[in-house]
Chains A and B, each alone.
Chain A
Amino acid sequence: MLQYVFIEHPFFAVTSLLYLASTLAYGLAWVSPSRLPGRAGTALMVAGVALNTAVIVGRWIEAGRAPFKSLFESLVFFAFCIALLYVVFERLYKTRLFGVAAGLMTFGSMAYALTKWDAEIVKLPPALQSGWFVPHVMVYFIGYAAVAIATGVAVVQLLSSRIPFVHRLTTMKAGSVLSGEPLDLDRISYDAVRFGFVLLTIGLLVGSVWAKSAWGDFWVWDPKENWSLVTWLIYGAYLHLRKVRGWRGDRAAWVAIIGFAVVMFTYLGISMLPTAEESAHVYTGT
């Protein structure tokens, strides 16, 4: 299989390797006093984003449609969204601390795509031939990527209070932290959730408008719709709970992690539900 992917789909293979290499470099930056591994991690991640873009654009041209139809295609796009958003976060918060988490998620998404290999280009059925298709999927996946990063931060936040090594990382001045300032992990996680929540809101409502134009009903209690609503409600609860005493810090981190678990089930687990047979949202290639 690997031989096939390397020969027939070299861009996909190299993108995956770049994400893996970036993860390793970011990991090295945790323990190295030199800035070089961290910089290499960023460079590799940016290169991964560039090549991932090429993979998506190439498939878009080849398929003559947006490459979001099959699970395989969506995983490749998910990896792209996480990587792109992570690079922006890295610049924004001046830290490479979460590079490992982002790298693991991007590489994990590509590796999972490999196990769900579906290079076959599927034609779009009439229902998906809509102007809403691309914005709906893009907004959702960027939203998913944002909450994925929030979860990565939340994990570091939880580990930081339990493992001295991680705690040192969050406060160290050299290596992975660009600014030399201690990080407010709770704030960074909240920022990512807040950004993701806005996109999840738009994605949910855009999906509703699309459903109305395609089927005449803006809400049909489809399992995917329901679980999208569940993710929205969970993150809505997260944002409200932050205003309740005692619900920041570790508790908020746990809610963010639970929220992401729900997101992942919404994304990948719908086919396991007894009601999935009636869903219009189950991916091809699952």
Chain B
Amino acid sequence: MVNTSHSSSGPAPEASASTGAREAQLTTWLVFGAMTAGAILQIWIPPGPTTLVAATGIASLVVLGLSFVVPGRLRSTLSGFRFTSSLLIALAIFAILGTLILQGKPAELYRAKYPAVAGLILALRFDDIFHGLPYAGLMALFGAAILASASLRLPISARRAGFFIAHVGLLVSGAGAAASSMLSVRGRIDLFAGGDVAHQVRVTRNGLPTGAFETLPFQLKLDQFDLVNYEAEYRIGYYEKARIVRDGVVMDDYKLKTSFDPVKVDVFNPKADQLPDLSRHRLPGGDSFRLKAVYPDFEVVTRTAPAAEGAPALLVTLAGRSQWLQPGETVVTPDGGLAVAFAEQRPAPAAGATTSVLVSSADRRVVVWRADGEASQPLAEKLPLLGGAVRIEQLLPHSTRGAFYQTRSDTWRNPAVVIETSVNGVLSDTLATAAQPRGVFLRDGRSALVFEKRDKEVKAFLSHVTAGQGPSMVRAIISVNEPFDYGGWTLYQVNYNPEDPTYSGLEAVRDPGVLWVFVGFALICVGVFYMLYVEPRLRGGGIDRQAPAAPAAS
């Protein structure tokens, strides 16, 4: 944003220094004067969008008008680089203050949060700093500076076009922003899928309802609302204990630092068959882990195997289902009519069963017992009984029985993993299921591994709406970043309720100034580029050689 240009054959150094000093003095007076006048007038005029726009516009024109009629250096000062620089710094300070002081909050909050300076903040209306008169005073000087410097640079030429484009852009976007501030209406529309048709907008300001309503020139109906989550995924999360502040309270909590995929993923071919990642991984805390097994559809089964010692075991098939029995155990058909009982000595018949097959391992005999009598025979392998309803398969004189993990299928329905951790070289295994995620704690609980399912992250929320009046109805889908323009209003997707999948919260905005804001933005971008890169070339080379350092033009 180059202002007035200077030639190398400017005033003598002494005169320049004196001119510069006067200009610096006037700049100081103008900037502080504008802020002070604003602060005083603010006693009677409360801050607000209208205050900002009206005060900026009026003061800008007054200052500009005075610069043309008041003798002295007012106009040249306004159009000078020193003045503009000072103004930009002052505006930057205001922008910073607006981030140090909460904006638009109730007075009580300032008294509680900033007890020492709350009175000053409220008196100077720094609680609404960007709508106050001191800020308006600076903006007025900014507007006057742009117009004053433009007036000194007429007529427009290719060598100075960048200045005009950028500064016209600033004025256009400023005017658009003023129109937005004064004329725009925004508010909320709460819709329910299949519910009532909306006819009006609940007007808000700074996100809070004003109590006013604005009638829409059309009807709006929510046909369907979709809450789309990201695809569920299973991860081995690595958490570290960290000190955090929650609701003002300092506490220790586990924070996710990284996570590992339990399967090897080929990023270039994600649809390829996924194999378990059984490699050892180093953890940030210095420990390591590996997955010893991955079960996509986890279940626990018991298995019996021969052993050198231990209790005997009998494999029997009853009603088509085979299973191992240990001494003292009985298996019964679903209807309870037929039972097989196994013991070292002859077992008792099963209660309630009309027929019991009694197997004893010590004397290796099988007795078919009925209420009206029994028959005995030696135990043999693959021995069919009762016409094949029972089959004695195998007797192990000594056996072990244990629980074994397996997967029912390759579908990730009930996944579990066996995590082998290594802490200071000590290995330990833990079964972790995603259905009941629990931490595998490391180093006295300072960190933990958790096998977890992630399926709660929202990817998108979409409102399928119908808008229109009478026979002309339009259907549209509104989502975040994809607003819907209709009837002079723009509808934005802003809210949903995870507890109520039929609810959709829309923001409705009618903003006649926004187009001009964006036109201004485009002009600023083009102008700045032209000014900094095209103009120097048009002037024939060096960037600064044509505009040597000098005080503002006289």
A-side interface residues toward B, CB under 8 Å?
1, 3-5, 7-8, 58, 61-62, 117-120, 123, 125-127, 129-132, 187, 190-191, 194, 197-198, 201-202, 205, 208-209, 212-219, 221, 223, 226-227, 229-230, 233-234, 236-237, 239-248, 273-275
Expressed in whole angstroms, the minimum distance between the Cβ of B423 and any Cβ of chain A is 14
Q: Which single residue of chain B is at the shortest CB-CB distance from A218?
A: B517
B267 contacts A62, CB within 8 Å?
yes
Asked, given contacts A7-B282, A201-B524, whether A244 binds B549 with beta carbons under 8 Å apart, the answer is yes
Expressed in whole angstroms, the minimum distance between the Cβ of A59 and any Cβ of chain B is 10
Of B31-39, B53-61, B475-483, which binds chain A? Answer: B475-483
19 contacting pairs across A/B (C-beta < 8 A): A1-B285, A120-B258, A126-B460, A126-B479, A127-B481, A129-B460, A197-B528, A201-B525, A213-B481, A218-B518, A221-B98, A221-B130, A233-B91, A234-B88, A237-B85, A237-B92, A242-B549, A244-B81, A245-B20
A sample of 8 more A-B contacts (CB under 8 A), given A212-B518, A244-B80, is A4-B285, A120-B256, A194-B533, A216-B511, A240-B85, A244-B20, A245-B16, A246-B20
A216 contacts B186, CB within 8 Å?
yes
A243 contacts B547, CB within 8 Å?
yes
A274 contacts B483, CB within 8 Å?
no
Pick the contact of A4: B283, B511, B547, B551 (CB < 8 A): B283
B89 contacts A237, CB within 8 Å?
yes
Q: A38 to B282, alpha carbons, bound, how many Å?
A: 37
A209 contacts B88, CB within 8 Å?
no
Most B-side CB within 10 Å, residue of A61, A129, A190? A129
CB neighbours of A273 from chain B (8 A) = 99-100
Asked, given contacts A216-B483, A221-B130, A243-B549, whether A125 binds B284 with beta carbons under 8 Å apart, the answer is no
B-side interface residues toward A, CB under 8 Å?
1-3, 6, 16-17, 20, 80-82, 84-85, 88-89, 91-92, 95-96, 98-103, 113, 130, 177, 180, 186, 230, 256-259, 267-268, 281-286, 457-461, 479-483, 490, 492-494, 507, 509, 511, 514, 517-518, 521, 524-525, 528-529, 532-533, 543-544, 547, 549-552
A205 contacts B521, CB within 8 Å?
yes
Expressed in whole angstroms, the minimum distance between the Cβ of A169 and any Cβ of chain B is 24
A209 contacts B89, CB within 8 Å?
no
B549 contacts A245, CB within 8 Å?
yes
CB neighbours of A219 from chain B (8 A) = 177
Asked, given contacts A216-B490, A237-B89, A246-B549, whether A118 binds B257 with beta carbons under 8 Å apart, the answer is yes
CB neighbours of A275 from chain B (8 A) = 98-103
Q: Which single residue of chain A is at the shortest CB-CB distance from B99?
A: A223
Asked, given contacts A191-B543, A197-B532, A215-B494, whether A61 binds B100 with beta carbons under 8 Å apart, the answer is no
Asked, given contacts A120-B256, A126-B459, whether A240 binds B480 with beta carbons under 8 Å apart, the answer is no
CB neighbours of B101 from chain A (8 A) = 274-275
Which 9 A-B residue pairs are closest in the complex by CB-CB distance? A126-B480, A119-B258, A233-B92, A243-B81, A205-B521, A216-B509, A237-B88, A223-B99, A130-B481
CB neighbours of A190 from chain B (8 A) = 543-544
CB neighbours of B528 from chain A (8 A) = 197-198, 201
Q: A219 to B511, alpha carbons, bound, how many Å?
A: 13
Q: A204 to B113, alpha carbons, bound, how many Å?
A: 31
Expressed in whole angstroms, the minimum distance between the Cβ of A284 and any Cβ of chain B is 10
Expressed in whole angstroms, the minimum distance between the Cβ of B145 and any Cβ of chain A is 10
Expressed in whole angstroms, the minimum distance between the Cβ of B203 and any Cβ of chain A is 13
B284 contacts A1, CB within 8 Å?
yes
Asked, given contacts A4-B284, A123-B457, A190-B544, whether A239 binds B521 with beta carbons under 8 Å apart, the answer is no
CB neighbours of B493 from chain A (8 A) = 126
Q: A227 to B91, alpha carbons, bound, how many Å?
A: 11
Pick the contact of A233: B89, B457, B514 (CB < 8 A): B89
CB neighbours of A129 from chain B (8 A) = 459-460, 480-481
A226 contacts B549, CB within 8 Å?
no
Q: A201 to B523, alpha carbons, bound, how many Å?
A: 11
CB neighbours of B80 from chain A (8 A) = 244
Q: A117 to B518, alpha carbons, bound, how many Å?
A: 38
Q: A120 to B259, alpha carbons, bound, how many Å?
A: 6
Q: A129 to B282, alpha carbons, bound, how many Å?
A: 33
Asked, given contacts A190-B543, A233-B91, A243-B547, whether A221 binds B524 with beta carbons under 8 Å apart, the answer is no
Q: A186 to B186, alpha carbons, bound, how many Å?
A: 48
CB neighbours of A230 from chain B (8 A) = 92, 95-96
Q: A61 to B543, alpha carbons, bound, how many Å?
A: 42
CB neighbours of A223 from chain B (8 A) = 99
Q: A239 to B282, alpha carbons, bound, how many Å?
A: 50
Asked, given contacts A117-B257, A214-B492, whether A61 binds B481 with beta carbons under 8 Å apart, the answer is no
Q: A52 to B274, alpha carbons, bound, how many Å?
A: 28
Q: A248 to B543, alpha carbons, bound, how many Å?
A: 14
CB neighbours of B2 from chain A (8 A) = 239-240, 243
Q: A218 to B174, alpha carbons, bound, how many Å?
A: 12
Asked, given contacts A1-B284, A4-B286, A221-B130, whether A209 binds B483 with beta carbons under 8 Å apart, the answer is no
Pick the contact of A226: B6, B82, B96 (CB < 8 A): B96
Q: A275 to B517, alpha carbons, bound, how many Å?
A: 26
Q: Which single residue of chain A is at the shortest CB-CB distance from B103?
A: A221
CB neighbours of B494 from chain A (8 A) = 215-216
Expressed in whole angstroms, the minimum distance between the Cβ of B366 and any Cβ of chain A is 61
Asked, given contacts A129-B480, A245-B550, whether A227 binds B95 with beta carbons under 8 Å apart, the answer is yes
Q: A274 to B286, alpha carbons, bound, how many Å?
A: 36
Q: A236 to B286, alpha carbons, bound, how many Å?
A: 48
CB neighbours of B529 from chain A (8 A) = 198
A202 contacts B525, CB within 8 Å?
yes
CB neighbours of B91 from chain A (8 A) = 233
Pick the contact of A198: B459, B518, B532 (CB < 8 A): B532
CB neighbours of B92 from chain A (8 A) = 229-230, 233-234, 237
A241 contacts B481, CB within 8 Å?
no
Asked, given contacts A187-B544, A208-B521, A243-B547, whether A8 binds B281 with beta carbons under 8 Å apart, the answer is yes
Q: Which single residue of chain B is at the shortest CB-CB distance from A228?
A: B95
Expressed in whole angstroms, the minimum distance between the Cβ of B159 and any Cβ of chain A is 15
CB neighbours of B457 from chain A (8 A) = 123
Expressed in whole angstroms, the minimum distance between the Cβ of A67 and any Cβ of chain B is 13
CB neighbours of A245 from chain B (8 A) = 16-17, 20, 549-551
Expressed in whole angstroms, the minimum distance between the Cβ of B93 and any Cβ of chain A is 9
Expressed in whole angstroms, the minimum distance between the Cβ of B531 and any Cβ of chain A is 9
A236 contacts B1, CB within 8 Å?
yes
Q: A230 to B94, alpha carbons, bound, how many Å?
A: 9
Expressed in whole angstroms, the minimum distance between the Cβ of A217 and any Cβ of chain B is 8
